Chains A and B, each alone.
Chain A
């Protein structure tokens, strides 16, 4: 910690000041660490506590639309009365209406399927990029990031024009004579998967690319030299070594997709049940902030598990020195 203090301690006149400098430097180092903690405290922990508190309150027709509200004028005593009024009723409610459970399960299923689809589409792209000539790679990387320069909403909206019954895709297929009746894609799960794979592909490709790009190609040659066909070499060497990238990419897609709202809303039609939509309905249609907060807290809990798993895998791969 004190290695930034470089004042020589050998010469006596400076000794006392050297200790001071060292102490000051230690404080400075602490301050540097405090910044991210402070950031997390103000923008994550405090809002989380507020949301958690709301989830334990009761819905009310008032401003804010729940009770009890925190009243600082009551002092410590007022705070205790507030605590006593809180209850887990909303969480119990979530278990009583199958809607919420179904929404969670449906969200997780859609997220899982679309993560697998994104991996299947993204892996060959990342592999191709990593094996492309070094001079070409920055361009390819740029192309992957390029869609981010347009609004996410507009890009998803554009898919409506492509997928709708009289849209571009159906026109093309009918024009080619491949189909007679327009395909019904919009407002189905297929449309959601297309939208998710399209939107989240860069989040899958980038970690995969970075894992594949740093792999020593002589490992593949060594595998082939030892009698392994190219396909075998891929499954025995390339893929196992890219697993950290696979895990990172899958989590980067899976976690936000579980709570995704825009894509199911625009492409999935009204019958799609996803938790992001349920959350929206509770907040804005029912104006039931406490139940909505409870839904959000449970969602967070559901997602914390994969995040912790991710961190565990990362820590282990770092331990292995790779």
Chain B
């Protein structure tokens, strides 16, 4: 398979069979009463990796983080950090630090004292604490706020104090629980890049919990998608988006159109699928699907072309419909096209020029088309 999307840096220890995982969840189960938060989950994270746990609320992602920090113990299974079983080690002895979703800044201490708190517990000499705190304040650009109390800071500044406090001890692993959840959109986007830079410059392993797929895709080397306490897929952002392993992943990350159908014919170059709503689909990405088997074909909206004219080629990967809804978003326009059987296909096209040469309006006849490489076949 060719490389999917762009890779941020040449860091792929998960493809190296000799690489030793740094953190390993081995068949971890966590139950609260009769509710199973994490179900027989196994996962590995490598040193210096920026790893994201992505899922809807209640999927068990925060529980995983809390078990790693030591606030909860697994009901079954074990968690290894650098080869050491963490069971029974209290939170204050674990070489991991956590940045809390609520930030959990000590309200009765100044910014400086908050950052110094962990270092003092370590018994670090006073002079050294001073230097480290100053360094941390510089890192998060809060030098002039050292003497302020948390309630005198803005949300973004508090977030940076929490970050500085959690990395001040140079933990082996930094756990971030929805680190940007309380920030507004603009600040969140800026902070995503700051976090990535920080992780690179400190050389730490980051595990971030988020429900925001864009955030996970921007920052993480790899993403684990969780649902009901189980791992659905662990892969790079590009793989998760372009080669989702299941219907759930395809539907959870980004927008997707799904066509149910049966494989009509299958060869080495791909498969021909007859969809239940009458489309003939040719795809190069057929996976393990064999002729006659029921499948789901998934295709992202931006990979579908909409046109007012029928595409010149044959009737494969083409369908006629009617423009049902239009959303103009500035950088792109989203069209919902209703096919003859009532199935609504979502498409989006980039507004590369200011004025479209093929303007489409509500209720216009339109043709959708896509290339054989645009979609993937998912197991049902």
Contact = CB atoms under 8 A, between A and B. Distances in A.
B278 interface: no
B104 A219 contact: yes
B108 A240 contact: yes
Nearest to B122: A227
A223 B117 contact: yes
A232 interface: yes
B100 A222 contact: yes
A232 B122 CA distance: 12
A76 to B, nearest CB: 57
Interface residues of A, number: 20
A228 B104 CA distance: 14
A236 B169 CA distance: 18
A192 to B, nearest CB: 36
A320 B104 contact: no
Nearest to A217: B104
Contacts of A320: 107, 149, 151
Contacts of B90: 224
B97 interface: yes
B208 interface: no
A222 B100 CA distance: 8
Given A226-B97, A322-B107, A221 B151 contact: no
Nearest to B107: A322
Interface residues of B, number: 26
B121 interface: yes
A225 interface: yes
A73 interface: no
B91 interface: yes
B92 A227 contact: yes
A228 B165 CA distance: 14
A276 B100 CA distance: 53
Contacts of A221: 69, 71, 91, 98, 100, 104
Interface string B106-119: 11100000000110
Contacts of A232: 121
A218 B105 CA distance: 9
Contacts of A224: 70, 90-92
Contact of B98 (A225, A236, A321): A225
Interface in B92-149: 92-93, 96-98, 100, 102, 104-108, 117-118, 121-122, 149
B357 to A, nearest CB: 51
A237 interface: yes
Interface string A212-254: 0000101101111111110010001100110000000000000
Contacts of A227: 92-93, 118, 121-122, 169
A321 B149 CA distance: 11
A237 B121 CA distance: 13
A225 B69 contact: yes
Contacts of A223: 106, 117
A240 B149 CA distance: 14
Interface string B81-93: 0000000001111
Contact of A222 (B96, B98, B108): B98
Contacts of A240: 108
Contacts of B118: 226-227
A237 B109 CA distance: 9
Contacts of B104: 216, 218-219, 221-222
B121 A218 contact: no
Interface centre among A218, A222, A321 (most CB of B within 10 A): A222
B102 A225 contact: no
B106 A228 contact: no
A229 B92 contact: yes
B169 A218 contact: no
A321 B121 contact: no
B106 A225 contact: no
A133 B105 CA distance: 24
Contact of B102 (A218, A228, A321, A322): A218
Interface string A295-322: 0000000000000000000000000111
B32 to A, nearest CB: 13
A228 B107 contact: no
A186 to B, nearest CB: 44
Nearest to B149: A320
Nearest to A227: B121
B151 A322 contact: yes
B330 to A, nearest CB: 38
Given A225-B98, A226-B118, A219 B91 contact: no
Given A218-B100, A219-B106, A241-B108, A225 B92 contact: yes
27 contacts: A216-B102, A219-B104, A219-B107, A221-B91, A221-B100, A221-B104, A223-B106, A223-B117, A225-B69, A225-B70, A225-B92, A226-B92, A226-B97, A226-B165, A226-B169, A227-B92, A227-B93, A227-B121, A228-B92, A229-B92, A237-B106, A240-B108, A241-B107, A241-B108, A320-B107, A320-B151, A321-B151
Interface of B: 69-71, 90-93, 96-98, 100, 102, 104-108, 117-118, 121-122, 149, 151, 165-166, 169
Given A222-B106, A226-B117, A227-B118, 17 more contacts: A216-B104, A218-B100, A218-B104, A221-B71, A221-B100, A221-B104, A222-B100, A222-B105, A223-B117, A224-B70, A225-B97, A226-B165, A227-B92, A228-B117, A241-B108, A320-B151, A321-B151
